[in-house]
Chains A and B, each alone.
Chain A
Amino acid sequence: MAAITRWVQYDITASGIPDDGRGAGCKGTRGYSIGTADPGDTIDIGPTTNRLHLAMDGDSGPYITLYSGSDLDPRFVARDITEKMHNLAKADARWDQAICTWENVTITGSYTKRNRFVIRSGTLGSASSVTVVSGTNDARGALGFITKSEAGGVATPDGKAAYGFNGTVVISGTYYGFFDEVYKIVACNGDDAANNIGAAGIGGSNTYVGTMNTGGIFNHTSDIQYVIEIDVTNGSTMGGGTGNVPRMRWASDGGDGQTDWTELLYPDYWYKVGSYGLMVKFTDAVFNTVDPAWTIQCYKPDHVEGSNANAALGTAQYMWSSDRGDDSTSAVTTVSGGYTALGTRGLYIKFDGTNNLYAGDCYYVICSAPKPSSYNITSLNYGNVTVSTESSLKSVMFEVESGATQVSTVKFGLQSHGTFSHHNAGNSDTKFRFGTVGPANNGTSPAGVEWYTNLTAADIDNDVPPLYLYATEDNLGVVATADASEVVGNYPLKGMTSDPMWLNILLGSSETGANSTINYRLYFDYS
């Protein structure tokens, strides 16, 4: 079966944008709309079902027109919705930072598969809301929004009555992420466990031999123990399609247990457990029916410094996590009046207030991704290039939109150098440059860099990459196999995407090939 793919181009000047929730100072939560009708795990969108009519914080659309196709991957569709909301050119964070995700949402009721589309406003606090409404050529049926669960944002997250700290959080720095991402910051020193999440204890009858990772940051007014149960009635491995995969549910002594099942559709994909920040993901391996499968103790954040429940800026500490798994491993000490790190992708925050920071005070930073400039591109035009000079850089991303559930082993190579006659000829050669970094293969500075704005030819003209790239090749050779091609990362959280690649050409001083039609070829494994 063929996988349907597309290429997406980015302006090299594109940049991610962090925001505090539309002037909310990072305080409060986002309003949301969850489509609660089961849309399956493949989505069909056509000319009569491609309009999503939305209101964000009471501000009506216009509608967004979704990407059309058959059996579209829901992660792909969620990112398409997100990008279309950002492309409305509202210049308003409620739209520009709005995010649609495909996730196992926590809602009351009886559901047997749980994974759903969720649209969240870019606004934090009680003014935040999302409403999916009916309209012409309505996409609600295709997306599962015929029935829905909607709620506005609240002023204080995680069940707390009020913030102890009287100020706000101010954001600085550059977001070097490639996809949308939401950071959660909790005032705490993690003295019970990093991010207040204890080590997962595996049940004695659990035969799973893969790796289960916990993630997120727990924040609640009491400790909670979660006991995860696995069922393999429908299938014992992930990636098998809805109805054919393992399922998970959990018990909680904090009242946020789930008695119906979440399908584990994809390996290495974050699933939420409970309502207070715990996430889990699993590598690809065989599950068995077992209860308890894992037991995870989560801790109320009691202290912000030593054994103090509150402390002044300068001594008070915080920890952080992102919904894509960018998690702190140790507490960060605040600096009074100064900025300290948030995440690994270039962001900094400052607590701006006049009293102490209190354990459990919680804040969010909403990051929007660099915007694509073109979809379904069919060629890269380097323009007119003078001999002995470098062309401009082009940045592209590859993705599978349907026909698969997993992608791996992505490779990129030069298939033909067209009519160029001085490529690897040993005489003032023409060179085909390549560089990559991304969500799967980060650079090293910043440690979690996934995208870097305004790269130049000098960044990829050497086989030793700069710190903000993962890999570079100063001159791709013509190759015919995957093994001979360049490694490119792939990422399962926002679709089946490759890491972005940057390409350009140096025309050799003797080059005579004009209007050369060069071909690249990308290799990938999928299932």
Chain B
Amino acid sequence: MRRGWEVELFNGVILRESDLEWRKVPKNQIVRLSLFYDGRQWDLMDKEAYFVKYRASVVPGIADSFRIERRTIGFYEGSNKVCYHVEEDSGKFSMEVIDTNGR
């Protein structure tokens, strides 16, 4: 079962989290951004700009203790960032709208 984000570019190329970092994705060529969680799928399309975010945790100094707590895909909408969160341990989905100007 697959977890993580997937991007489809205008030219049909598919890029996946397992293959490269989000920073390497050509942001001006995204036609679809999806988040997968063990058979579930959330798709974002036709947005002005997209983002990917993770919540992680780590025990100080213990590299092996690093774990992903939550994966997020989202898009910008005016001054807001609209977030689709999926908890890593449960697959629980939630949505959050963050005002980037702190309002």
The chain A residues found within 8 Å of chain B, CB to CB, are 1-5, 7, 41, 71, 209-211, 232-237, 239-245, 283-286, 376-380, 396, 398, 403, 405, 409, 415, 482, 519-527
The chain B residues found within 8 Å of chain A, CB to CB, are 17, 21-28, 48-49, 51-63, 65-66, 68-69, 72, 76, 78-79, 81, 100-101
Q: How far is the CB of B69 from chain A (nearest CB, A)?
A: 7
Q: Are B81 and A284 in contact (CB under 8 A)?
A: yes
Contacts A210-B100, A235-B27, A240-B23 given; does A286 touch B61 at CB 8 Å: no
Closest residue on chain B to residue A237 by CB atoms: B49
Q: How far is the CB of A243 from chain B (nearest CB, A)?
A: 8
**Chain A residues whose C-beta falls within 8 Å of the C-beta of B21 in the assembled complex:** 1, 71, 241, 403
Contacts A209-B79, A522-B58 given; does A284 touch B53 at CB 8 Å: no
**Chain A residues whose C-beta falls within 8 Å of the C-beta of B17 in the assembled complex:** 1
Q: Are B23 and A5 in contact (CB under 8 A)?
A: no
**Chain B residues whose C-beta falls within 8 Å of the C-beta of A232 in the assembled complex:** 28
Indicate which residue in A233, A241, A520 contacts B23 across the interface (CB closer than 8 Å): A241
Q: Are B28 and A244 in contact (CB under 8 A)?
A: yes
Contacts A237-B27, A403-B21 given; does A285 touch B100 at CB 8 Å: yes
Main secondary structure of the interface of A (DSSP, over half): loop
Indicate which residue in B48, B55, B60, B101 contacts A525 across the interface (CB closer than 8 Å): B55
**Chain B residues whose C-beta falls within 8 Å of the C-beta of A41 in the assembled complex:** 23
Q: Are B62 and A378 in contact (CB under 8 A)?
A: yes
**Chain A residues whose C-beta falls within 8 Å of the C-beta of B61 in the assembled complex:** 7, 376-379
Indicate which residue in A283, A520, A527 contacts B59 across the interface (CB closer than 8 Å): A520
**Chain B residues whose C-beta falls within 8 Å of the C-beta of A5 in the assembled complex:** 58, 63, 66
Q: Are B25 and A244 in contact (CB under 8 A)?
A: yes
Q: Are B56 and A211 in contact (CB under 8 A)?
A: no
Give bound CA distance, A245 to B17, whole Å: 19
Give bound CA distance, A324 to B58, whole Å: 29
Contacts A241-B23, A284-B81, A286-B76 given; does A521 touch B57 at CB 8 Å: yes
Q: Are A239 and B100 in contact (CB under 8 A)?
A: no
Given contacts A519-B59, A521-B59, 11 further A-B pairs with CB under 8 A are: A1-B22, A2-B56, A3-B56, A5-B63, A7-B61, A71-B21, A211-B101, A235-B27, A244-B24, A285-B79, A378-B60
